[in-house]
Amino acid sequence: MRRNADELNKMRKAGKVVAEMHEVTRAAIRPGVTTMALNNLAADVIARRGARSNFLNYGRPPFPAVICASPNDMIVHGIPGDYVLQDGDIISIDCGAIVEGYHGDAAYTAGVGEISATAKRLLEVTERSMYAGIDQLTIGNRLHEVGRAVQQVAEAAGFSVVRDFVGHAIGTAMHESPQVPNYWPGTPGPVLKEGMVFAVEPMVNVGTYDWYERDDHWSIMTQDGKLSAHFEHTIAVTDNGPEIFTIA
Ligand code: MG
Ligand code: MG
């Protein structure tokens, strides 16, 4: 779906709130902090900005928090709680906000204290794969070039791209059609037009892309217990190229 100038402005505002949630949580990440403490900082931003959370009560069972916090071998959808961040962990924070009915959605992975060389490389490669995908969001290009670009970067580094969780169009709902795979799905997908908005969100694993779900029905773990990282932005297709909404 194409969004008009007024809608894009609302999405810009939602994106700014999400960027601020990233800023305050990132600044608080250190050994000894719980994932619930990070959630509460993000909730404060939502309240302060008069926004609403698109994560809280999402899905079944209803998601109980405003951020997902996924450490180490957790790929996505971690429920914040009493988990205490340890020196050497990596932690993926995914969050969103609604402003005037329009959604923003973005994620990052950060190191806690001193992290391994492999973890550092995973974070760098995953973020770079996201930007390679974002660069494909130009008028006239085909949507699935995003996934092709992401996959090239991740696999060139010897990592794998998660298949079963993907990016998405976004607007008056967080998850709209079409989906945005982080790999080449075998077809070029729709032609990109001005005013389309997508969340590009590669999840990249050190080992296999296979996964399992924990008994809480949310936490998605790597099958082999190796590390996973996740970066995401909300981006509009504009006649000046891709415009990232979820940055400060
Ligand atoms: Mg998303
Ligand atoms: Mg997200």
Q: In which element (H, E) is residue 244 found? A: strand 241-244
- Write the pLDDT tens digit of every residue in 188-209: 999 999 999 999 999 999 999 9
Q: What is the pLDDT of residues 9-61, one digit of tens each?
A: 999 999 999 999 999 999 999 999 999 999 999 999 999 999 999 999 999 99
Give CA separation, 59 vs 38, 63, 77, 151, in Å. 21, 6, 11, 28
How far apart are alpha carbons 247 and 19 in whole angstroms? 5
**From the CA of 170, which ligand is nearest?**
1
Contact between 13 and 100 (Cβ < 8 Å): yes
Other CB atoms within 10 Å distance of the CB of residue 103: 26
**Ligand 2 centroid to 199 CA: how many Å?**
8
Q: What is the pLDDT of residue 37?
A: 98
**Cβ-count burial 42-60 (b if 16+ within 10 Å, e if not):** bbebbeebebbbbbbebee
Q: Is 223 helix (H, G, I), strand (E, B) or coil?
A: coil
Section 121-149 average pLDDT: 98
Total-model pTM: 0.98
The whole-angstrom separation of Cα 140 and Cα 27 is 39
Per-residue pLDDT, 142: 98
How many Å lie between the centroid of ligand 1 and the Cα of residue 199? 5
Determine the Cα angle at 91 with ends 26 and 95, to 5°: 65
Distance from C-alpha of 6 to C-alpha of 101, rounded to nearest angstrom: 12
Distance 55 CA to ligand 2 centre (A): 9
> What CATH number does the domain containing 130 carry?
3.90.230.10
Distance of CA 72 to the CA centre of its chain: 15
Cα–ligand 1 centroid distance for 10 (angstroms): 18
Domain count, the chain: 1
Residue 108's domain comprises 5-244
How far apart are the C-alpha atoms of 103 and 99, rounded to whole Å?
7
Ligand nearest to the CA of 180: 1
Quick one: tokens of 194? 């001005």
Cα–Cα distance measured from residue 18 to residue 38, given in angstroms and rounded to the nearest whole number? 14
- Determine the average pLDDT of the residues in 163-176: 98
Å from CA of 186 to ligand 2 middle: 24
Distance 87 CA to ligand 2 centre (A): 25
CA of 194 relative to ligand 1 center, distance in Å: 20
Query: What ligand has the least distance to the C-alpha of 93?
Result: 2
Residue 237 CA to ligand 1 centre (angstroms): 17
Q: What is the pLDDT of residue 184?
A: 98
Rounded to the nearest angstrom, the distance between the alpha carbon of 91 and the centre of ligand 2 is 14
For ligand 1, the distance from its centroid to the CA atom of residue 232, given in whole angstroms, is: 7
Residue 2: how many other CB atoms lie within 10 Å: 13
Instruction: Give pLDDT tens digits for 198-239.
Output: 999 999 999 999 999 999 999 999 999 999 999 999 999 999
pLDDT tens-digit map of 91-130: 999 999 999 999 999 999 999 999 999 999 999 999 999 9
Average pLDDT, the chain: 98
| Residue for token pair 């949310």 | 218
CA of 140 to the centre of ligand 1 (A): 23
